[in-house]
Chain A
Amino acid sequence: MASRDDVMDVLARVSGPDGRTPLPDSGAISGLTIRDGKVFLAIVVDPDRASELEPMRASAEAAIKATPGVTSAVVTLTAESARAVGDAAPGHRHGHGPAGGQQRQPRSTLPIAGVKHIIAVASGKGGVGKSTLACNLAVGLAKLGLKIGVLDADLFGPSMPKLFGITAKPEMAPDGRMLIPLEAYGVKVMSIGFLIEEGAPVIWRGPMVMSALNQLLREVAWGDLDVLVVDMPPGTGDTQLTMAQNVPLSGAVIVSTPQDLALIDARRGIAMFKQVHVPLIGVVENMSYFLCPHCGGRTDVFSHAGAQREADKLGVPFLGEVPLDIAIRANSDEGRPVVASLPDSGHAGAFLEIARRVAQTLEVGAPGAKPAPRIRIM
């Protein structure tokens, strides 16, 4: 059977649209699919030059047909191009990524080998304590005896290095293409923050975000994990869409403060996950109330129980509330998640209870979770 490389090798003898550059290096190949010896190749050309380039099409087709192991070849000229900016040399094959199917972008939507569940921790609005929750949830799940990883998907504002107190740089696995995640508190952690200087800005357009996320997901030696917790950036943008498209998510946890301003955005986040059929594990109310360390009096700084009301209204489970507390903030800033550093405190208890509920939900499947359809090509 002919491989992609075989086809690319014979195409190297065919000149691309400029009449000089070999086709595989011309950047004009927009699609190559091989199935049972049948080869389908699409070449992007300027529509005005389509008839002029017919000989190129014909010689590409003839060359592929003559390749051993090829039973038929269809080469089409197309004017459609939506190639990602980051993918500068579509002719080159690097041979990584389990799908190996497409030239344009890493498009594997396969689950990650060895990882049982991938869950997203998300919020509509920033500053509600989503990363702190993701970190303590992960440590809590690990305390329950599960094998846990954390992927920091907030490329523009990575928090996991700080929250886990990790300053080391990840090393390359012996195979030279997978990064080994760093470990703290029994959790494997990967973050773009390990790879750039603290305080250095990441200024990327969408396609770069997509490509970086795919690498953090798939080019990291996660090993066997029960749950990979993904700390999402706030909002409903490129990262959320990339995650929703590139891996089957077992569910999402939405974090919100009880104030209306945050809840409006939380509602948006919930609606987004519903739209892409990611089941909702539940809603967490963070900064739920403040207990004064001096007088013991309680203040509902951001109001109270708003997240629970919202969850009830939308028919989404409520996972619990976490108070606004100096111990959580101070320990987080020092890279010591309270679930590990103050395990007997009420705050740790709140996080642990949330972790328990998440674990239970994953055990039975989040509400509305359905198995992926079987896809067959006969």
Chain B
Amino acid sequence: MAWPTDIIATDKGRTLEVIFDDGETVRLTAERLRVESPSAEVQGHSASEKRKVTGKENVAIVDIQPIGNYAIRIVFDDGHDTGLYSWDYLRRLAR
């Protein structure tokens, strides 16, 4: 499984860059990450509960915290910080 070696927030927190050990680099906008947050606050507990998050064009990442060995918590400047982004999820979002 591809493993991230570097996770970098750039562009004043508007872009997240993840470098994987198989050479792939994925770039995700903070907006994309925010509206697709894996948090239950966004995803609900089933597909029908999923909330559409809008108006986040200018959202920025203010902090990134490691979660165990498998994920990061991203803190956004709108206060959202309950999404845990696993390596697999980050990779999937970039597809």
Give A residues with C-beta under 8 Å from B.
30-31, 33, 35, 38, 40-43, 74, 76, 78, 80, 82, 99, 101-102, 107, 109, 244-249, 275-279, 370-378
- The smallest C-beta distance from A237 to any residue of chain B, in angstroms, reads 16
| Residues of the A chain whose Cβ atoms lie less than 8 Å from the Cβ of B64 | 375, 377
Which B residues are CB-close (under 8 A) to A370?
3, 21, 69
Q: Produce 1/0 per residue, B66-95, CB < 8 A to A.
A: 111111110101111110100100000000
Residue from A38, A244, A378 whose CB has the most chain B CB atoms within 10 Å: A378
Complex CA distance for A264 and B13, rounded to whole angstroms:
45
- B69 touching A101, Cβ below 8 Å: no
A99 and B65 contacting across the interface, CB-CB below 8 Å:
yes
Q: Known pairs A80-B79, A374-B6; list 10 more (Cβ under 8 Å).
A: A33-B77, A109-B73, A248-B68, A249-B69, A275-B70, A277-B70, A278-B68, A373-B5, A375-B66, A377-B13
Q: Which residues of A contact B62 (CB under 8 A)?
A: 33, 35, 38, 40, 377
Which of chain A's residues have a CB closer than 8 A to the CB of B9? 376-378
Residues of the A chain whose Cβ atoms lie less than 8 Å from the Cβ of B18: 373
Minimum CB distance partner of B69 in chain A: A277
Residues of B whose CB lies within 8 Å of any CB of A are 3-10, 13, 18, 21, 39-41, 61-73, 75, 77-82, 84, 87
Q: Which of A42, A277, A375 contacts B78 (CB 8 A)?
A: A42
Q: Which of B21, B69, B75 contacts A31 (CB 8 A)?
A: B75
Per DSSP, chain B at the interface is: strand
Query: Are A378 and B79 interface neighbours, CB within 8 A?
Result: no
Min CB gap A257→B, angstroms: 28
A residues within 8 A CB of B40? 82
Interface pair B8/A82, CB less than 8 Å apart: no
Contact A76 B69 (CB under 8 A): no
8 contacts across the A-B interface (CB closer than 8 A): A33-B62, A76-B77, A82-B40, A276-B69, A371-B5, A372-B66, A374-B5, A377-B61
Residues of A within 8 A of B3 (CB): 370, 373
- Nearest A residue (CB) for B75: A33
Chain B nearest CB from A227 CB (Å) reads: 17
A90 to B73 CA separation, bound complex (whole angstroms): 20
